[in-house]
Amino acid sequence: MTAAAVPLVCWLEECRKESVPLVGGKCSSLGELINAGVRVPPGFALTTEGYRRFMAEAGLQREVARDLEHLDVDDLEALERTSAAIRARIESAPFTRELEDLVAERYRRLGVRCCMPALPVAVRSSATAEDLPDASFAGQQDTYLWIRGVDEVLHHMRRCISSLYSARAVAYRARHRVGDDQLAISVGVQKMARAYTAGVMFTLHPANGDRSVIVIDSNFGFGESVVSGEVTPDHFVVNKVTLDIIDRTISQKEMAYVVDGRTHTSRATEVPLERQRIQSLLDDEITQLAWMGKRIEQHYGRPMDIEWAVDKDIAAGGSIFILQARPETVWSARQAPATGPTSAMDYILANMLAGKRVG
C-alpha cells in the first residue's frame, strides 16, 4: 500500500488483527471481533498515518525527538517536566482542516448509524506497542468516556495522542527498550455503551492460571470502578465446558461510575444501600458472557483479558457488548498453570472422581 493510499481515518469494521501498524492494538482487536461476529459498539479510528500527519504538519515530531534525546527517565523531576511540556504542545496544536473534516464526517455518520445526534462516544488510545503477547503496554495511554460533539471529540483525540508521552508511558517504553521510531498511536472513537453493569472477564483464572474456567468480575455502572480497583466487584467463576456457575461471591459495592444527566459526563456516585449487596449480573447474563468469552478465546487461540458492558438501553438478549479483548500476558506465557487442572477435561474428570456433579 502506497503512502497516498493509507487512510487517515477508517471504520472499525475495516480493521483486522493484522491492522496493528495502521490502528494499534486496541482498534485492530475491536475490528477483528466485529468481523468474527462478536457484538462490539460501532466506531471509527484516526489511523497511525493520521497521527503522523498531525505530528508532522504541526511541527511536533522534531520537537519531541529533541526533548527525549538526552532525557534520563530515572530523574523523576526532569521526566515529569519534559512530559508536561510535550503534552501541552500536542494538546494545543490544531488539526489540519482536512483531518478535522474527515473526523467530523465520520462522527456525523456514526450518529446517523446509531440514530442519535451528538452521539456520546468513548475516545480511546490505541498504540502500536500495546496489547502485545509478550508485554503489557495496555493502560499506558488514556481513554475518555461520554464525549459529545465534534469539537470535544477532536480535543480528546489530541489528549489521547499526548498521553503517548505521559511520564509513566515514556519511562515504561524506555525501560522496555521500545524506541519512538517503533511505535505510533491511533485513536478510536466508539459509541458509548450506556452500561447498567460492566466489568472484566478472563478466560482463565487470573489467580492460579486454571484454563478450565472463565472468571468474571462485575459492578454496577461503567467498568472504571472494576478496572481501577476502586471497588471490590462481584466475582463469578464459570466452568468453561458446561458454562455452569461453580463459584460466586457477591461483594458490598459501595460506589459506581454512572453518567451525569446534566453534564453528560461519567462521575463516581454512591450505590444505594439497598443495592450494595445485590448481584450485579443476572445468571443468564453470566452464562452469555462466558459463552462469548469462550468464543473469543477460540477465535484468538489463546487466553484472553476482556472488558464488557451490559447496555441498559437495549433489550435483553442483545444488550451485552464487548469493549476490548487482548491476550492475557501473565499465565499464558507459562507452560502450565501453577495449580488447578490443566484443561477443561481435567476439571471434569477431577470432579467425577470426587463424586461431584459437573453437568
pLDDT on residue 133: 46
Whole-angstrom distance, CA of residue 290 vs CA of residue 213: 9
Domains along the sequence of the chain with CATH: 3-191 (3.30.1490.20), 195-353 (3.30.470.20)
Task: To the nearest 10°, report the CA torsion of 260, 264, 268, 271.
Answer: 30
Provide the residue type at 70 as one letter.
Answer: H
pLDDT of residue 130: 56
At 263 the pLDDT is 75
Dist. CA 156–CA 149, nearest whole Å = 11
Round to the nearest angstrom and report the end-to-end CA distance of the chain.
52
Residues 46-89: tens digit of each pLDDT = 999 999 999 999 999 889 989 988 899 899 999 999 999 999 99
User: Quick one: pLDDT at residue 337?
Assistant: 47
Please answer whether residues 310 and 198 qualify as being in contact, where contact means their C-beta atoms are separated by less than 8 angstroms: yes
Radius of gyration of the chain (CA): 21
Write the DSSP assignment of 81-115 as a string of letters.
Answer: HHHHHHHHHHHHSPPPHHHHHHHHHHHHHHHHHTT
Any idea what DSSP says for residue 5? Answer: G
The residue ranges of the chain whose pLDDT is under 70 are 1-4, 129-141, 315-317, 332-359
- Identify the CA nearest to 125 among candidates 143, 140, 139: 143
99-133: pLDDT as tens digits: 999 999 999 999 999 999 899 999 999 988 654 44
pLDDT at 97 (0 to 100) = 96
The C-alpha cell at 102 is: 474527515
| DSSP code per residue over 266-279 | EEEEEPPGGGTTS-
CB atoms within 10 A of CB 229: 8
Cell 466487584 locates to 233
Cβ atoms of 218 and 234 within 8 Å: the answer is: yes
